[in-house]
Structure 1
């Protein structure tokens, strides 16, 4: 017998049937935000086949970031891609316009259990051999602030670069330069969707960075302390490192 699946969006829970296609988007079985014109009417579908549940991106423009609950596994679900749900809890993030959505998919029993992987902090955060300076981390926290403060699944907003720069007391030019740094370093280490260019808007790149940071637990609610006056001042001093 197949494991029971629960789709949870801000406390609104659904249990897809094994013989039907469950749709998620601006319309469908789970309506995330009927008023967001940037969100596909049908963006994700959940189906059951070969004794597994599958999530498929049926949209044409948006991608989704999918992670296990610990952040040890992460996948980028591009339009047309399909992924099996194998963990007890799977978290999905995607951005439409200036809004990032987060929902949770829970299985009654799972095929795999992720390995616990927790970063250790001594002033720097390491992902493999990649280290972020306090200033670089401060930028990411500023962009993820709304999602981190909400503390629950749902919708959060991504600030403009000007707003994020003002939040930490930096000139916009410095913020953009350090944001380029962060995106370039993560891109070098295989994180897709962060490269700039004429065909990629800055807002799209920031959205992907926010999704990745939340999914990989690159930042957590405890990092919000960095946005206090003392933390912001420290970030200013390290911005040229």
Structure 2
């Protein structure tokens, strides 16, 4: 995927569509079209519709409309707190100053970064209380090591808004990120899923119908949607990495 976050503050009801550095801006009257034909032209992919997305101004908002016939688009706010699927034929108002739109056509995934007039947009207020020690969610308490295990799985989604759960690392990759053995990571993951399952969270039990990949995806979706982990917590993961490197260097000395 390509693209960067919109940095320009838009006024006068305008919209900006950024596709990997190719930027199209429009005022209130002119729609922006995306597809193999359009203002944002992606003409090198035969799997993509000629006319796929349109950004139009209506009822005081900019709307994104899926005018294609079979490809959905995923919408995410800049903080990753809201995720929606825009099916063919559906439309949705852009209520955030910055919205990430991702979609796949054939083997390729694309990213658009959409910016709208800040005066028209909703600003998310502070909502998480910062504290010290373990993190509490409902009746369930997590240790620092358990939180690190969740962060290792959720890191790609937290670091880049718009990334889907298909980029969640495997258990082996997450264990390597933390410098843990796969057995240790597996035990932590089991403990986390057991705690959440006991608290009423569904889809985290193993067994015949509970594939490991599905369980990891469900855990990450839950952790991000309930703010069990946020981008602020990535500092814990980064702080753990130097400790892991030091241990490895001492072991090889």
TM-score w.r.t. the length of structure 2 is: 0.56
Partner of 1:114: 124
1:41 aligns with 2:48: yes
Separation in 2, partners of 1:10, 1:211: 30
* 8 Å contact from structure 1 (residues 99, 157) kept in 2: no
Aligned equivalents of 2:176, 2:30: Cα separation in 1: 51
- The within-5 A match list for 1:145-184 is 145-146=155-156, 157-168=167-178, 169-171=180-182, 173-174=186-187, 176-178=189-191, 180-181=193-194, 184=197
* Count, aligned residues: 222
Gaps of 5+ in 1: 233-241
In 1, Cα distance between the equivalents of 2:53 and 2:20? 17
Question: Does structure 2 retain, via aligned residues, the 8 Å contact 1:10–1:153?
Answer: no
Q: Which residue is 2:87 aligned to?
A: 79
* Cα gap change, 1:119 to 1:207, in 2 (>3 Å): same
2:225 pairs with 1:219: no
CA contact (8 A) 1:187 1:195 kept: no
Q: Where does residue 201 of structure 2 map in the other structure?
A: 188
Following superposition of structure 1 onto structure 2, how do residues 6-45 of structure 1 map, counting pairs within 5 Å? 6-15=16-25, 18-20=29-31, 22-23=33-34, 30=40, 41=48, 45=54
Between the aligned partners of 1:211 and 1:93, the Cα distance in structure 2 is 20
Contact 1:46–1:55, Cα closer than 8 Å, also in 2: yes
How much is the aligned-residue C-alpha RMSD, in angstroms?
5.3
Structure 2 residue ranges without an equivalent (≥5):
1-10, 246-253
- Relative contact order, higher structure (CA 8 A, sep 6+): 1
